Structure 1
Amino acid sequence: MFCPKCGTKNVDNARFCIQCGHSYTNKQKKNRWWMAGIILTLFLVCGGFIYYFVLNKEFNNETVVKEITPTQIESEVNSTKPEKQPTVEKDPKTNTSTNVEKKKKATNQKAATQKDKKDIIRDAQTKVFTILTADSQGSGFLFQENGTVVTNAHVVAGYIDVMVRDQNGREMNGKVIGISNQYDVALIQIQDLAGTPPLEMEMKESEIGSEVIALGSPQGLENTASIGYLTGLDRSFVSDFQYENVYQIDAQVSPGSSGGPLLDGKTGKVIGINSALLTRDESIAFSIPMYTMKDLLTSWSKSPMDKYDVANTFDFYNEYVAYDEYEYGDSFENEDYESEEEAYDSAFDEASLSDFILNFRSDYELALTSEDFSYIEDLLLYDSQAYYEMSDYIDEISGQGMVFNFTSNEVTNIDMQAEQAIVSTFEVFDFMNAAGEWSVYERIKDYVVVIDENGYYKIMDIEIHQ
């Protein structure tokens, strides 16, 4: 090899130059340090790479996890369950509303539209009334703030002036200002109720299965409430009136409930006018949807029918109107009634007397079965012989387990006199005494009927012919 300093050729593996003494050993050492530097540099580069791309990433991930709030963690967990909504409460850092608050608010809003049934009944009863005529009793409810009350046409048919009684027993004069001979609805004006807020009405069709409350005065039991369900829609039939697309309900409705309101069991709004009962199955009743009659009733409220239009709606008005107008002092003009004497002679009517006695017999059967004199008390003349005899008899049979089953009751004759009418009947009933023995009775009875100071039929005496 040649010396890098002087160029002299030396033998291989020589440690020094033979010419200038240059050392070959330092060069090898330098070469070894240079190689060591390269290796160290590569090691540092690799270490830096590992630190930057592996260890530093894990450190950063750990830091991120520590900085996530509990709300964020719960949101991350719930985000993996798309079928459920997050149930996050109020965030303590941001003080913002969460899904739980929104759900609670929505629940409160829904609850605000629903009322407790006790509150619904209590509030509605102050605006539900008993409608009284000389030969019938029904129910009605406040329709508008001007003092108009809705009832059934069949409750007031034949009358212009009626008596209206509230839940406290206060009696008020009412005048029929609207009535239909097609639909079973009528409207009564009561000045004493003007300014009273009415019941709220539902103007949409209710759904089948809705819980309902029927209010009225069934069998003379005023302000009775019964709860049931809307069991059918769009029922249509024809009787004395045309019933189209009416509601079918299973809430208990009895004679005397006619004209009362049918309320939604959750909102308390009037959804119908209780009107008819299926005679072959008394668990089924019918109610006219309120939204179908609203326009007709409103038209009467704004533009009332006069008494002549009301009187001409039904042919049989002429049988009653003379006495009504005479009794209440109205100057009704009708060429068929030219004197007070003729008006008084026409006070009794065969059809109304017959209906009155037949209704009394139905109520009497209930009074015997229930052992409750109140079922017939209002139909008897107070302080009369019939009043005390019926009261004593019901007290006498109470608690003995007797059974009365009336199978036939027919009006056979009506004798109308100036101050009273005698209605004769033929009655058949099965009777079980206290010993459990059954007998069949056939009886002829004469009911002595008078008209009291308020113009109502009352039974003064009952004569039994065996």
Structure 2
Amino acid sequence: MTQKPSPKINRNNQIIAALSLALLAVIALGVYLLMGTDSTAPETKPQPSQPLESGSQMPEAETVLPSMIANAKTHVYTLYSDLEQGSGFLINTKGDILTNAHVVLDASYITVKNSDGQEFNGHVIGVSDTQDLAIVRVDELAGKEPLEIEMEPVAIGSPVVAIGSPHDQNNTATTGEITAIDLDFEDQYQYNSLYEMNAEIAQGSSGGPLIATDTGKILGINSIILEEKPGSGYTIPIYTVWDQLTEWVENPITTEEQEIVLQDVKDAYFADDLLENFISAYYELMPYSLNDADSSYYLSYILPDSEAEQEATKLIDEYAGPDRIYDTVQPAITSIEVNEDSATVEAEAEFTYREETSGESSTVSHEGVYTVVIDEYGDYQIADIANE
């Protein structure tokens, strides 16, 4: 992480003077871009989503709303270039990924990787030398639906979740809230109307989304931290830069205008640890739908219009009850078989629930056989379920 010159800070009049002076003193010690230290895509298979190692300042991912992470995971990517490693997220159906300029500026190649091991070549279609913004287009992701973007400002105290790839750990997530608004930093780049939040971020998080936990909408792009305030991060609200992003999307830099070196990228593949993590995460979403029929984030793990969609719905209908409140689920993977075009995963799980009227706790056990495929965007999807 590179120390930056002391920036010029301006506070919105809504922030009281005492806080302004305190923040000014802290920021004078240095602003850091959230750059990764390893810019090369790893040769080994990607690690499943997990919290950082013990001793890190990043809180464990278990503290994050699981349904929010599950819904966002297939829209957040790890970016590698010959210069940096960072994060990014899909913003439209053209395959465009928003990230920070300092992640991709002057890079000779950009490799984009999802959480299931699929890699893509990307190319910059827009980048600024004054604002820390860039868009990378991945042609193979055209047609994939993005998460919804919040186009209005949010208030101090709004709950948020930050998702990214700090230290090259895919889909690490932390929760917090907006602690200040309308901050302006002037440094290598001009940062205007920033959100400050206490969801901790770290090296490699640059370009990851900040998401409102109450709506699931993307609020902004995580961009910088302060040397002496590592517990806070600063996010560029997307609504403030949407006009610039739209201009790049509609008038992109062409590949002919760039010196791009295409890399040999890896196709998505089946690996035991990734499959175990995938099915376990699917199970962990089930209690949300068992308690609330309107919560259907588990469907992001299921191939649309497949037999699996019908079987999952049947299971929800069978286990849900008007007097049942599901608290926990403990999944266990018992067998994994990798085939040429699919994988078969056998699993069992124990759901714990309590009767709302009596408070009595009970358990229900489930066994299932899951057929997992890789879809056109390189994501794992459940194509069939045999509930036993």
Q: What TM-score does the superposition give when structure 1 sets the normalisation length? A: 0.42
Q: Which entry has the higher C-alpha Rg, 1 or 2?
A: 1
Greater relative contact order structure (CA < 8 Å, 6+ sep): 2
Q: Which structure: greater helix fraction?
A: 1
